[in-house]
Structure 1
Amino acid sequence: MSGGSSFRQSKQSRGRSVFPHPLQFGAILLILLPNFFPSLFSPLGRSYLSLFSEWIAPRPMHLHLLNGALQHPSSAEQESDLWSPLPNQGRKPCAAQNNPSLPKKSLGYIQVFLDGGLNQQRMGICDAVAVAKILNATLIIPYLDINAVWQDSSSFEDIFDIDHFIQTLRDDVSIIKELPSDFSWSTRGYYATGIRETRIKTAPVHASATWYLENVLPVMQSHGIVAVAPFSHRLTFDGLPSDIQHLRCKVNFQALVYVPHIRTLGDLIVSRLRSSPSMDGTSTSMYQRGNDKPGVGKYVVLHLRFDKDMAAHSACDFGGGKAEKLALAKYRQVLWQGRVVKSQFTDEELRNEGRCPLTPEEIGLLLTALGFNNSTRLYLASYKVYGGEARISTLRDLFPLMEDKRSLASPEELAGVEGKASLLAAVDYHVSMQSDIFISASPGNMHNALVGHRAFKNLKTIRPNLRLLGKLFVNESMEWSEFRQAVLHGHRNRQGQLQIRKTNQSIYTYPAPDCMCPA
């Protein structure tokens, strides 16, 4: 398998052309469009103009640090310490130690309709099982709404092994794939066309078990069925019986398994990542090469969450100049009509508060300061990077062995997941769970889900200190050696050390103590 990345620019595209440079062409269009196409400058048309910012290559924002990173590779000792696994932290998984007790008779059926992306839906599924247990209800396999951003219509059984799910939880909760014929009318479309007595749409965020017993159970008993929508984040993390908490852990860490073809594709990608690239562009097994250098046969996953929505909503400066700032401001206005609070602050204020996601350049500098180098196998878990190749070129300079799904698998191998955002995200999740180290450039649902799942399995996960890094990056006089020392010091206790969940924190991000017992 070739180690080359699909992101790499072809040689032909580097040649000279008689056509205008894209930057020149974009500038001409920006001048002429208002005269010839005034409709483009309506509120709807403004969203299209943000595309022009992607033609303007963002400049490196931290060139002085970048030069230092390229000239001062990490030491072998630093690499060895970085790749070493986590020690035993005094806790072990105990999600399966609850005593299943399925009542003889269910009190009715419950449906939930889950919005959001894959990982938000994953957490919603866990909560749905818990609520069904609280109500002594039969759960219909959760319905996954089509996400407005990803436009993916994949169902539960397209993503998760539905038979494994039901079998794993058979002694805890009654779960069925489809409604009985008497309730076949209870569909997503039915609830979308008017007010229905069997739908609960007022469930508060982080509702208690008592709220469900007082507000949902009576409806279910009266009609035989109840539907809760919206449902995401509608169950509290605190004040629940331990058996309900254990059940949530069991669903998340045991019952939710991806369908076989996703696992097979993920395992194929992992095997290729663990192969060592040869000078001729082929890959050879680490065992064949007999190389015991630190990092050989290992890989790190970088979740690079840097899409246009995130960039616009953050209101930070990402090095694209005035054109990019204007394009993102217009995009922000169209989508959120000025309701983005962060846009009221300057870039420096946001960075000092750690409220700016890391750019590909900045995450590259962080990884280099931590001890990764140009021989590191870096897997990029990402949907679409705002700014394209120009945005990630600096990261590639630092990590030439960077790969992704399309560089490690053929179109034929990807055919079963291509064009389906949830399935692609599931592949990335599977690859991330097998990695030696995981790091995310900014918080989000995938970050939260993987931080918790890897903590449950005692796997190394680096959590960037965004507040520290924001202050370091605005200091333009800082030398590389000083930056590296500050990064190492500020991340000593952010590399997978187990954190005990605090009040209001998610059980899916902080599984101890609810899902992890003393060893």
Structure 2
Amino acid sequence: MNCVMLLRLQDHGIRSESGFSGNSSVSSVSVTIREKWRKIGKGKKAQKGNYGRMLALASHALAENGYILVTANGGMNQQRVAVCNAVAVARLLNSTLVVPKFLYSSIWRDVSQFGDIYQEEHFINYLTPDIRIVKELPKELQSLDLEAIGSVVTDVDISKEAKPSFYLKHIIPILLKNEIVHFLGFGHRLAFDPIPFQLQLDNKLWHPLIIYFYGIFYWIAINLPHIVSLSCLLACLPLFMSTLPNWGTSSRDFDADLDRFLVGSYAEPVKKQNKSRAKKASRYLALHLRFEIDMVAHSLCEFGGGDEERKELEAYREIHFPALTLLKKTKMLPTPAELREEGFCPLTPEETVLMLAALGFNWNTRVFVAGSQIYGGRSRMIALTSLYPELVTKENLLTLTELEPFMKFSSQLAALDFIGCTAADAFAMTDSGSQLSSLVSGFRIYYGGGKMPTIRPNKRRLSSIFMNNSTIEWRVFEQRIRKAVRQTKHIQPRPKARSMYRYPRCDECMCNMTISF
């Protein structure tokens, strides 16, 4: 166990009053070490040097607390966040991380595992100096009934914003007793920066942990196994000819870092192959149109389809969201009109095209649309394709032969969308709560140098504008839309209690420290 880390935690008042339940020996050892450390060097001038960091690394190299097994749920982006949080927990608990597994989802219907999407060897090797990662459990642990011995921890057991002290108090005893903890689900835990800023600043032993909270997401380079398709996508996107509103310096000035962090070493051959064409590259807008049936059904909103639409969405909810169906039958929930008025309904394709037009995107703007099957099909996309004829998707960019290997793997298709959106000169979302939109905007903030704008709509304000569109003049409509849509491109401190994946930088721990990867 990392006694040095526990010592510092306890000195800052994070240890619970009761200590680790069922492990009095662990608590007594921590107290003894703390007393000895207080005596060492008492009355002497503090020695220079960054010994705290090296002591932490030495402690992790010499000690071992067991194995962390994570089975992540959701789609590709939810799973990616779970992997990042698993790294942070393994580092905190001084344990070995098993390469994460992905749960099969009836919604996403994808059997892809970690190595099918990410560079597994790069993931293991890059983190080796700080945590140990193995591809599978030791044989003696593989046959254990983890649920029977109490080693399974679900999302129900962990609050969304649980602090590190929770893991030290409740998870360490399980690790010490059973040598393994299985986090089942682990959706979006540790993503809201629960560590007090003062502790981050004062306690340099947390420094490596901070790096993982802020940086590890950006180092899980996407590994699309079919290089031809990836090369085609990366080669085609920068060549879109478009006219975007003037936001200053093009993000092309920063594409070197983006390429490296997006796809790792795969970017180099593509760059060399397309070097002559890349000089002619212009700009394009990426749009994440979150209007798939799962989003539409879960919102409980109505979208103009009448009884047929209501019956279809209710049937979908009964299969995929049974808890929501039960809640709808037993509780008095807000009406669809009330939900829309409060901004809880996803923007429709029609509302999206009006927003883009009001923001100044003209008809010859090249738009890359990310997303899977839009609810309502082609008929629902008519407004968007009519006003923006230069609209493309990954399906347009890739030939059927190139796309075929991905067709049965929604997570790999989502990875293509992630690349297309992140590399764009401007990125627009229709739902700020979307995981893909959050991660893309965070990536662009982290590596964009303040030159990569993200368009984030305020749906509540937009709702009131759209509800009055029968009488409003276009010029007034433009003005109101621009006030209701937040355009962000500069690096800003993360607001309190906001996801660090959406806001990956803050003054307290990134700007005042020298961090090298």
Which category describes the TM-score, using the shorter chain as reference length? 0.7 to 0.9
1:339 aligns with 2:327: yes
CA deviation map 1:92-140 (0-9, x unaligned): xxxxxx8782432322111111111111111111111111111110110
Give, in whole Å, the separation in 2 of the partners of 1:340 and 1:263.
Answer: 46
1:474 aligns with 2:467: yes
What is the 5 A alignment of 1:279-294? none
Give, in whole Å, the separation in 2 of the partners of 1:420 and 1:167.
Answer: 26
| Most deviating of 146-155 and 104-113 | 104-113
1:140 aligns with 2:98: yes
More helix by share: 2
CA deviation map 1:330-388 (0-9, x unaligned): 54456432425998434443233211111011111111111112211111111111110
User: In structure 2, what is the equivalent of residue 486 of structure 1?
Assistant: 480
User: In structure 2, what is the equivalent of residue 203 of structure 1?
Assistant: 158
Classify 1:197/1:313 alpha carbon distance in 2 versus 1 (closer, same or farther; 3 Å): closer
TM superposition score normalised by structure 2: 0.72
User: In structure 2, what is the equivalent of residue 114 of structure 1?
Assistant: 72
What is the 5 A alignment of 1:164-313? 164-186=122-144, 191=146, 195-201=148-154, 202-235=157-190, 237-239=193-195, 241=200, 242-243=206-207, 244-254=209-219, 256-261=220-225, 265-276=229-240, 297-313=282-298
1:504 aligns with 2:497: yes
CA deviation map 1:394-416 (0-9, x unaligned): 11001111111111111221233
User: In structure 2, what is the equivalent of residue 397 of structure 1?
Assistant: 386
1:446 aligns with 2:426: no
Task: Name the SS of the counterpart of 1:229 in structure 2.
Answer: strand
Task: Name the SS of the counterpart of 1:494 in structure 2.
Answer: strand
How far off its partner does 1:268 sit?
1.8
Classify 1:518/1:218 alpha carbon distance in 2 versus 1 (closer, same or farther; 3 Å): closer
Give, in whole Å, the separation in 1 of the partners of 2:492 and 2:344.
Answer: 22
Gaps of 5+ in 2: 1-52, 201-205, 243-273
How far off its partner does 1:306 sit?
0.8
1:379 aligns with 2:372: no
Q: Which runs of 4+ in 1 moved over 6 A?
A: 285-291
CA contact (8 A) 1:348 1:474 kept: no
1:411 aligns with 2:400: yes
How far off its partner does 1:313 sit?
2.1
What letter corresponds to residue 443 of structure 2 in structure 1?
Answer: H
Give, in whole Å, the separation in 1 of the partners of 2:278 and 2:435.
Answer: 38
CA contact (8 A) 1:274 1:286 kept: no
CA contact (8 A) 2:241 2:365 kept: no
Task: Name the SS of the counterpart of 1:463 in structure 2.
Answer: strand
Give, in whole Å, the separation in 2 of the partners of 1:250 and 1:485.
Answer: 38
CA contact (8 A) 1:113 1:229 kept: yes
Classify 1:173/1:497 alpha carbon distance in 2 versus 1 (closer, same or farther; 3 Å): same
What letter corresponds to residue 247 of structure 1 in structure 2?
Answer: Y
The alignment covers a number of residue pairs equal to 405
User: In structure 2, what is the equivalent of residue 64 of structure 1?
Assistant: none
Give, in whole Å, the separation in 2 of the partners of 1:426 and 1:484.
Answer: 34
Classify 1:267/1:500 alpha carbon distance in 2 versus 1 (closer, same or farther; 3 Å): farther
Task: Name the SS of the counterpart of 1:226 in structure 2.
Answer: strand
Task: Name the SS of the counterpart of 2:368 in structure 1.
Answer: strand
Q: CA RMSD in A?
A: 2.8
CA contact (8 A) 2:301 2:339 kept: yes
Classify 1:317/1:337 alpha carbon distance in 2 versus 1 (closer, same or farther; 3 Å): closer
Classify 1:384/1:410 alpha carbon distance in 2 versus 1 (closer, same or farther; 3 Å): same
What is the aligned-residue identity percentage?
33
What letter corresponds to residue 300 of structure 1 in structure 2?
Answer: L
CA contact (8 A) 1:360 1:392 kept: yes
Give, in whole Å, the separation in 1 of the partners of 2:152 and 2:300.
Answer: 38
CA contact (8 A) 1:238 1:503 kept: no
Gaps of 5+ in 1: 1-97, 279-284
Give, in whole Å, the separation in 1 of the partners of 2:509 and 2:385.
Answer: 38
